[in-house]
Chains A and B, each alone.
Chain A
Amino acid sequence: GAVVSQHPSRVICKSGTSVKIECRSLDFQATTMFWYRQFPKQSLMLMATSNEGSKATYEQGVEKDKFLINHASLTLSTLTVTSAHPEDSSFYICSARAGRIGNQPQHFGDGTRLSIL
């Protein structure tokens, strides 16, 4: 149980295009979803937190107009990297939690490798 599916697993696109990444909870309702970014050989950095039906809360230094997050349903959140540039190339990972309170575990997707040429 508690499976999180992330799609696509890998995407390569030209500079200037927008890329959408989907995160789905397959067997539970994800009240809260998180988006992380991971650079090579580095740890995960939280980008934003979203509750279903609410605007996402972004971490300091993360451009909300650059990284658009939508959490319109209890099973789906999307991250759109707008006008992507090579510096946006990274490994993006989502996680989902069944409740709004912190004592419930986060379940992680398998990540999306984004490469901008």
Chain B
Amino acid sequence: AQSVTQLDSHVSVSEGTPVLLRCNYSSSYSPSLFWYVQHPNKGLQLLLKYTSAATLVKGINGFEAEFKKSETSFHLTKPSAHMSDAAEYFCVVMTTDSWGKLQFGAGTQVVVTP
């Protein structure tokens, strides 16, 4: 079975400073991993996805994530936080069955202070 663990439930950063959101995965096979962002009372927007191509994945809005098999990690980073980055972030792994369901992590709430 596939699963992800988000190591921080809450991250607070100052505007203009780097953001790091940590995610570890568990999978018997090479996983398909995603980061989604959810703003209050909204659906989810895909930030980026890893599907066994390049280990460093660049996404939208300046976010990127690095797949590290040796550490079973897929951490999300951004060099400089913006106020609009305040949201809930989910690390997600796709199941390897034919359905390709998404298994969501518990989420990390990001707060950006001026």
Contacts and interface: CB of A to CB of B under 8 A. Distances in A.
B90 A113 contact: no
A24 B7 CA distance: 34
Contacts of B107: 42-43
A49 B99 contact: yes
Contacts, number: 59
Interface in B91-114: 94-102, 104-107
B51 interface: yes
Interface residues of A, number: 27
B45 interface: yes
Interface of B: 32, 36, 41-46, 49, 51, 90, 94-102, 104-107
6 contacts: A34-B101, A46-B101, A102-B101, A104-B100, A111-B41, A113-B41
